[in-house]
A and B are shown apart, each in its own frame.
Chain A
Amino acid sequence: MDVGKAIPLTAHDLQAKYLDEVLRFVSSFVWPLADAEDVVMEVFQAAFINLPKLKRKDDPRVWLLGIARRKVANSLRMRYRRAETPLSEAESSFRTDQARIEQQTLVHALLAELPHDQSEALVLKYANGLSTREVADVLGKSEAAANSLLQRARESFYTKGSPLFLETTEANHV
């Protein structure tokens, strides 16, 4: 197989296989959901234009998440300049269960508080289910560097989100 050749993947294939995946990543950083959907739209717009450049050796999933990563970063930069929607209001527009909302809000807040590359690594690993190798590819790092980043990210999350873990652990002991 000529790995340098363009991959015979259509735009339809791309969206059918990876739309949910991209949304999972984007919605971890951008909310409310309507805003996340707009960012996803931008991701696919960029991906479709560049689809002929995708080579056989490239993993379309990693490639797409790489684009998503840049689009999310752009969107977050914009948000600093925008009047932010109160989190509770934004969340309530698409999540209804109160307890779940509280937990999701807290996780969102924790992710937003971590250094961005750490939260990216956590979302790629745990929301998108990527292997450490794939996380490294998306972030443009070596596998060792990604592994180290993930470790730091986990530690930061455990520290900042300790009440979440304590409650669960205690509950298990009871």
Chain B
Amino acid sequence: MSTVLILADFAGDKATKATVEIATAGAVIGEVTALVLAPVGKGAAHAASINQGPVTKVLVIESDDFTKHGVAACADALAHVIGQTTPSAVLVVSNAFGKEVAGRVAMKLKIGIITDAVDIASDCTATQLVFGGSTTVHSKVAEGTGIITVRPNTITANFAAASPSIENITAPISDSSKKATITSSQPPVKGGRPELTEANIVVSGGRGTNGDFASVEAFADSLGAAVGASRAATDAGWYPHSHQVGQTGKTVSPQLYVACGISGAIQHRAGMQTSKNIVVVNKDPEAPLFELADFGVVGDLFAVLPPATEGVKARKA
């Protein structure tokens, strides 16, 4: 049976939902081995948090170089483990960290890389959505063990409980990977809402909010959703740029995307048109975003959202 190596992704000491997603994707190809790169003393805790998804084995490497030298050291370790275990494929989460590690590993080992896959078949054919989600591409790695980065929230994770075997190993970190040192780092200030790119539901506000995001936030909170914004809203300073959805912001692909007071410029659509369900609330019946809507409301968001928020709360109560 072929094996698939995944690079586990963590938020703090916990494996993320994206880790379970790539494990689920990998299980289609073969048995999944998860690689955990942890600072000294944290390996056991990190490995123990991989308790969901089809993972049969966890390899743990503890080294303070991972926090001190970042992606370069992590790429060294991953490349070493690929050399040792010769998996059929390597899957990494498609975030900034994962993509950089994957790129470095591909160059080190001279193997092919595919980024931003949204699905993977049993023969390692990856599906990608390009040009802002308007075109579907199937690609395959032609050279060596393929390394594929998988976009979060595109694969339905299998959350079945797992009790993988855990093995501690070591990997050499080359001196050239220690040339840059991270002197300090600070986690982003987090609100009570889920991360935009990983959320199942995103509620976004645009120019139509006129700077008042209270209704948008209240509706998002009733659904347990992340809050996004259009460029018009972030440029006006109504909402932080880190929440911008679109070509120059974040690309999201949630189960449900609710656009409130967003007309739907092509740059915004590029960031959200792969969402499974799209709801549009806009006063302007001519807004181009209605073309994408599964459910559209022509009306003032300040009149529509509050009763909807109450309705959702009532339904959940």
Q: Do A and B come from one complex?
A: no
Interface residues of A (CB under 8 A from B): none
